[in-house]
């Protein structure tokens, strides 16, 4: 799969039907995903397989409840504006 095909597949998976999640996940994909290390890329792909209520809780409400495999990734996604540092 080419990087563009992967980006399109992930963009489709980022569309959750909840505006807040859609914006947060798509912005992260566009601004940060390409520069992630392979382990975090895999975590992001796995994160997208989780249920919407869980994603909403972890990303927008109570990040302290985030399971350990996603904790670092959720911290990156939650950063204001998803700026690349």
Q: What is the pLDDT of residues 24-54, one digit of tens each?
A: 999 999 999 999 999 999 999 999 999 999 9
Residue 85 has pLDDT above 70, yes or no: no
Q: What is the DSSP letter of 60?
A: I
Q: Is the pLDDT of residue 81 over 70?
A: no
Considering its fold, how many domains does the chain have in total? Answer: 1
Domain that holds residue 7: 3-82
Give the 3-state DSSP-derived string for 1-31, with helices as H, strands as E and coil as C.
CCHHHHHHHHHHHHCCCCHHHHHHHHHHHHH
- Whether the pLDDT of residue 65 is over 80: the answer is yes
- The CATH number given to whatever domain includes residue 32 is 1.10.150.250
pTM over 0.85: yes
Give residue 80's pLDDT band: very low, low, confident or very high (50, 70, 90).
Answer: low
């Amino acid at each position: 799969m080419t990087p563009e095909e992967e980006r399109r597949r992930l963009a489709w998976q980022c569309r959750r039907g909840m505006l807040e999640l859609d914006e947060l996940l798509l912005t992260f994909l566009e601004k940060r995903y390409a520069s992630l290390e392979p382990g975090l890329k895999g975590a992001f792909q796995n994160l997208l397989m989780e249920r919407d209520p869980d994603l909403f809780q972890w990303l927008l409400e109570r990040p302290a409840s985030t399971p350990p495999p996603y904790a670092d990734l959720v911290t990156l996604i939650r950063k204001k504006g998803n700026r690349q540092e």
